[in-house]
A = this chain, B = another copy of it.
Amino acid sequence: MVTYQINKEKLEKAAFILKTVAHPTRLAIVDLLAQNEKLSVNEMCEVLECEQSLLSHHLINMKLKGILRSEKDGLNVFYSLKEREVMKLIECIEHCDCNY
């Protein structure tokens, strides 16, 4: 008999989190913030060569989904990883050499 343990809710939550990160730019953001405690939108814009508005959309989305937090300081808004656990995802992925 086939067993099945993880419940639907948990799977949906996991898929949700994964989705939030499953994008080159967003993954780069996580990576960047793993290496730098906090960064302003502008700083990330430059490093990632991503248009400001698009980056903003990504950042707000990630914040909304609980991956990032933000704090305002004058004109700048600094983003940082809310759950440093997310970094583990990246490491994990790096070790997983699926060939396709």
Contacts and interface: CB of A to CB of B under 8 A. Distances in A.
B96 A83 contact: yes
**Size bracket, chain A contacts:** 35 or more
Contacts of A18: 18, 21-22, 27, 89, 93
A45 to B, nearest CB: 11
A77 interface: no
Most buried by B among A2, A19, A48, A94: A2
A interface: dominant SS: helix
A67 B28 contact: no
B14 A27 contact: yes
A43 B2 contact: yes
Contacts of A14: 27, 90, 93-94
A74 to B, nearest CB: 18
